[in-house]
Structure 1
Amino acid sequence: MRAVWIVDDDQSIRWVLEKSLAREGIPFKSFSNPDDVLDLLEKEKPQVIISDIRMPKGSGITLLQQIKQDFPKIPVIIMTAFSDMESAVSAFQGGAFEYITKPFDIGEVIALITRAVNESISLEVVKTQFAPNMVASSSMPTELIGQAPSMQEIFRAVGRLAQSNASILITGESGTGKELVARALHRHGDRSSAPFIEFNLAKISKDSIEAELFGYERGAFANAATMKRGCFEQADGGTLFLDEVGDLPLELQGTLLRLIEDGRFHRIGGQQELKCNVRFIASSFKNLEALVASGQFREDLFHRLNVIRLRLPALRERKEDIPILTQHFLMMSARELNVKPKILNPLTLDILSMMQLPGNVRELQNICHRLTVMVSAQEIMPKDLPKDFHQFTPTNSSVNSLDYVNPENIIPVAAIPKQVIQPSSSSSWESGLKTVAKKMLEANNEGIYQELLNKFEKSLIETALEVTRGRKVEAAERLGIGRNTITRKVQELNIL
């Protein structure tokens, strides 16, 4: 077995990985920059490489591409603290074995490294699924933003599926970003130079859907003064995104099914059979299975569209992303209006994080734009939020914190690094914890930190398992911890 090479400019990350690999008996070598790795590759080869993306002296993506070009059999695991879609897609399209985000569960990372080592040893080949033809660029726009585990799964899926031609069904509530995912799948695929055509069936009258989809010949009906190419024809060679496909009339569903199967169709009023080569991506807010059960949607069409399904999480399922999303949208609105970006008071951010946002990310974006336009001050305070924004039921503690906030304790959000922005609020449970801790300290109790930490973790995990009805994987995702972590904690804390 050859060594695992660790590439990261952060000494603490290298130290943690080194100690963990040593415990497992896995040999290793550490590097602080990609250049040293490339120099040593001329003399010896590692079993696996695990590399950071952003380093002062080089890019992990560039290193990945060089390795896959010269040594395609070496598995490369990419890790990053800057989790975005561009990084994930670039990693997978560059041929990465896996993509992980910091902070990570060390147990899960060691298990991943072990799997990569075993596959490398047994096969001595890891087939690259994606051509290394994409370089991460800070100038490229980020379609989706998020550090929540559920969003990282979406980023990974886009990276894996972009080069596929399989039909994909994207589900999720309104405003979660279904169109953005569809565009990302197209832009990162081999059809990116061909058209991307979006057709929202919910916005078109039923009488016009057929003409818009299939086109028509001149004179086909009263207002058909000229020939018109439909969406299918316009998307030839590229991608057709059928938004809200659940609104497609039943009488047209058979025609769509035939088109997906063989690519053949006729314009309205036309005799000539036409053929197009299109990748289909569909989305739906409606429950298509329920529509199938009620006879409103063809089952065979559903199965044709549902080859691969991606479910986008609602914003309430990824509230840890609200701070970075808010900052991003405030910056974006400022650029559009050519003004200086606003900053959020931490209490204002707390309120936004507690709000009920049925419109999801789109609604949060609209809120940020409205605040940029309407608030004259540079810092957005809780009093600046219009009354209709307070769509949540505040606890007594949150009301008190708004009433008695000390302006001297306010720290502008813009002054806090994006990766560590967290809502800060004073709440009753924190006050209770302080009271208990004070009594234990005054009584000279021993092991106070671990005792309270265990009680906190146990209460948190028990509550998550109660909400998810015992489903550990879902509980771990909601808590933002690894699957191995929750399994270990359940055993350590004797959670039934």
Structure 2
Amino acid sequence: MTAAKHIHTEDEPFVEAFGGWQERSILIVDDEPGMRSFLQRTLVGRCSRVEAVESVEDASVLLGLRHFDLIILDNSLPGKAGVDWLQEIRELGLHNDVVLITAFADLEIAIRALRAGAADFLLKPFRVNQILSAIGRCFDRTHLRRENFVLRRELDYHVDLGVDGLVGQSEALQPIRAAIKRLATVPSTVLITGESGTGKEIAARAMHYLSSRSGNHFVPVNCGAVAPDIIESELFGHVKGAFSGAASSREGLFFYAQGGTLFLDEVAELPLALQVKLLRVLEERKIRPVGAEREIPVDVRVIAATNRNVEEAVREGRFRQDLYYRLNVVQLHMPPLRKRIDDVPALASYFVRQLSQQLGVPPQELDSTLLASMTSYNWPGNVRELRNAIERWLILGSIPHLAPAKPSTQSDAHNGDESLDAIEKQHMLKILTETGGNKTEAARRLGVSRKTLERKCAEWGV
């Protein structure tokens, strides 16, 4: 999405940018001491950080050290024109918003500035409300662009926006709630483990929204759903001409998560080559867009999740040990639904209310017989399977596959995990048979990803 450009020459009333400026940072690049002083006095009380330099060389050094939300750039600088430097940093992969200021009303310079990616163009001398209005428009456009991008991704991944926490009061859930509240107060990297459908993303979202980063975006990405050949560009962005088809520069997910949280779901699916680059990002807090010649500072908290046994993947050489240790600063394990079966009635009621609204059907009462069947079932697909079962019940009035779990016999009582694995296999193969071998439809009914189902089938030799 390309932000609209604006050439400002008239006096306009200043309107504070929605979302506030308190966490914004601005870099001033101007060789006139009086202009630097004027801009600093104007902005210091409004923004979290304002820094001023007199040359593009000094500006380049600062941009390599930390992130700035906006650059106020004079065009008439010693050694190099501001518009030429702007073109250079765009080619290097820096996407900071830029307001170009100049004392000369030159239409050619204005056109070059906008083509190079300047968000606004101001003529000197300008009034306080003019520069504040230009800055406000830049902040508004950036906020809307990131918000639109995040909302589109949430629709793509079918994320339930209304879910901001965990439902239920079971004993197994209490330490999880306590851990989420504690982890929300610190910036540490967290690795969330657990079976598919146990609510790992919901836990990550809760950590974000309870944290000081809640004013910025939570950006989720399923690492297993992105093709290996484009995942690097997806995360870090790319510059124009970086590869065949890169007709223009593009920001990556780290850009959209700036100041907020990036959630790497299914992180164990990342290619080994990218694991090396992710490790460097976590250690250096800098990213390098594909094809770029320099690194860009970022302020992003990373929360990762996986349903794989990562330690086993490390032993087998499929996951880097150093990255595992860097991600696993704190580990949060989400319990499967069978370990918090007391929460099934509360979850079922919640999904009835939520889904009846979405489907446009009247909410129905969950009778005691149905609830008894639900609480005696093992739910191999966990909370996601329960949600799908409730949706099917609201539409069709029944849940055909729902049946109490078979009690363990003496022969398998010594190994409950093997018994549960057998139940999971039996159930998944039953649904696969009902769908005529259609793995996409079977995965949808089970509440798991197709990739998970394919992996299970491979393990069972099906």
1:291 alignment partner, one of 287, 310, 313: 313
**For 1:305-331, what per-residue CA distance to the aligned partner results, in whole angstroms no more than 9, with x for missing partners?**
001110000001111111111111111
1:355: how far off?
Answer: 2.2
Q: What residue identity is the alignment partner of 1:301?
A: L
1:265: how far off?
Answer: 2.2
CA contact (8 A) 2:374 2:404 kept: no
1:385 alignment partner, one of 378, 384, 399: 399
1:264-275 → structure 2 map (5 Å cutoff): 264-275=286-297
Structure 2 equivalent of residue 330 of structure 1: 352
For 1:394 and 1:466, how far apart are their aligned partners in 2?
Answer: 13
Q: What residue identity is the alignment partner of 1:169?
A: L
For 2:375 and 2:386, how far apart are their aligned partners in 1?
Answer: 10
Question: Aligned pair 1:282/2:296, yes or no?
Answer: no
Q: 1:466 to 1:285 in 2, by over 3 A?
A: closer
CA contact (8 A) 2:163 2:202 kept: no
1:202: how far off?
Answer: 0.8
Q: What residue identity is the alignment partner of 2:399?
A: L
Structure 2 equivalent of residue 242 of structure 1: 264
**For 1:454-484, what per-residue CA distance to the aligned partner results, in whole angstroms no more than 9, with x for missing partners?**
xxxxxxxxxx99989xxxxxxxxxxxxxxxx
For 1:278 and 1:258, how far apart are their aligned partners in 2?
Answer: 14
1:166 alignment partner, one of 167, 174, 188: 188
1:386-465 → structure 2 map (5 Å cutoff): 386=400, 388-390=401-403, 392-393=405-406
For 1:302 and 1:466, how far apart are their aligned partners in 2?
Answer: 30
Q: Which runs of 5+ in 1 are unaligned?
A: 1-139, 376-383, 396-463, 469-496
1:389: how far off?
Answer: 3.0
Q: What residue identity is the alignment partner of 1:344?
A: L
1:371: how far off?
Answer: 0.8
**For 1:182-210, what per-residue CA distance to the aligned partner results, in whole angstroms no more than 9, with x for missing partners?**
11101110011112111111111111111
**For 1:419-466, what per-residue CA distance to the aligned partner results, in whole angstroms no more than 9, with x for missing partners?**
xxxxxxxxxxxxxxxxxxxxxxxxxxxxxxxxxxxxxxxxxxxxx999
CA contact (8 A) 2:165 2:203 kept: yes
SS in structure 1 opposite 2:344?
helix
**For 1:143-184, what per-residue CA distance to the aligned partner results, in whole angstroms no more than 9, with x for missing partners?**
211211121111111111112100000000000000001111
Structure 2 equivalent of residue 187 of structure 1: 209
1:184-223 → structure 2 map (5 Å cutoff): 184-223=206-245
Structure 2 equivalent of residue 253 of structure 1: 275
**For 1:31-56, what per-residue CA distance to the aligned partner results, in whole angstroms no more than 9, with x for missing partners?**
xxxxxxxxxxxxxxxxxxxxxxxxxx
Q: 1:356 to 1:149 in 2, by over 3 A?
A: closer
Structure 1 equivalent of residue 75 of structure 2: none
1:318 alignment partner, one of 328, 331, 340: 340
1:340: how far off?
Answer: 2.4
For 1:274 and 1:146, how far apart are their aligned partners in 2?
Answer: 42
For 1:385 and 1:265, how far apart are their aligned partners in 2?
Answer: 48
Q: What residue identity is the alignment partner of 2:182?
A: R
1:341: how far off?
Answer: 1.2
The structure with higher relative contact order (CA 8 Å, sep 6+) is: 2
Q: What residue identity is the alignment partner of 1:350?
A: A
Q: 1:277 to 1:354 in 2, by over 3 A?
A: same
For 2:236 and 2:164, how far apart are their aligned partners in 1?
Answer: 33
Structure 1 equivalent of residue 371 of structure 2: 349
CA contact (8 A) 2:218 2:261 kept: yes
SS in structure 2 opposite 1:197?
strand
CA contact (8 A) 1:146 1:152 kept: no
For 1:155 and 1:293, how far apart are their aligned partners in 2?
Answer: 31
CA contact (8 A) 2:170 2:342 kept: yes
1:385: how far off?
Answer: 3.1
1:367: how far off?
Answer: 0.7
For 1:156 and 1:241, how far apart are their aligned partners in 2?
Answer: 20
Question: Aligned pair 1:362/2:384, yes or no?
Answer: yes
Q: What residue identity is the alignment partner of 2:250?
A: K
1:97-108 → structure 2 map (5 Å cutoff): none
1:141: how far off?
Answer: 5.5
SS in structure 2 opposite 1:310?
strand
For 2:268 and 2:416, how far apart are their aligned partners in 1?
Answer: 30
Q: 1:324 to 1:293 in 2, by over 3 A?
A: same
Structure 1 equivalent of residue 248 of structure 2: 226
For 1:355 and 1:467, how far apart are their aligned partners in 2?
Answer: 15
CA contact (8 A) 1:215 1:230 kept: yes
Task: State the percentage of identical aligned residues.
Answer: 42
For 2:367 and 2:216, how far apart are their aligned partners in 1?
Answer: 45
CA contact (8 A) 2:373 2:404 kept: no
Q: What residue identity is the alignment partner of 1:272?
A: R
Q: What residue identity is the alignment partner of 2:384?
A: R
CA contact (8 A) 2:310 2:324 kept: yes
For 2:329 and 2:169, how far apart are their aligned partners in 1?
Answer: 27
SS in structure 2 opposite 1:198?
strand
SS in structure 1 opposite 2:245?
coil
What root-mean-square deviation, in Å, do the aligned CA atoms of Structure 1 and Structure 2 show? 2.2
1:145 alignment partner, one of 153, 156, 167: 167
For 1:391 and 1:204, how far apart are their aligned partners in 2?
Answer: 37
For 2:372 and 2:197, how far apart are their aligned partners in 1?
Answer: 21
**For 1:232-285, what per-residue CA distance to the aligned partner results, in whole angstroms no more than 9, with x for missing partners?**
222111111110110111111111111001112211111132110111100010
1:351: how far off?
Answer: 1.3
Q: 1:306 to 1:230 in 2, by over 3 A?
A: same
Query: How many pairs are equivalent?
Result: 252
SS in structure 1 opposite 2:219?
strand
Q: Which runs of 5+ in 2 are unaligned?
A: 1-161, 418-462
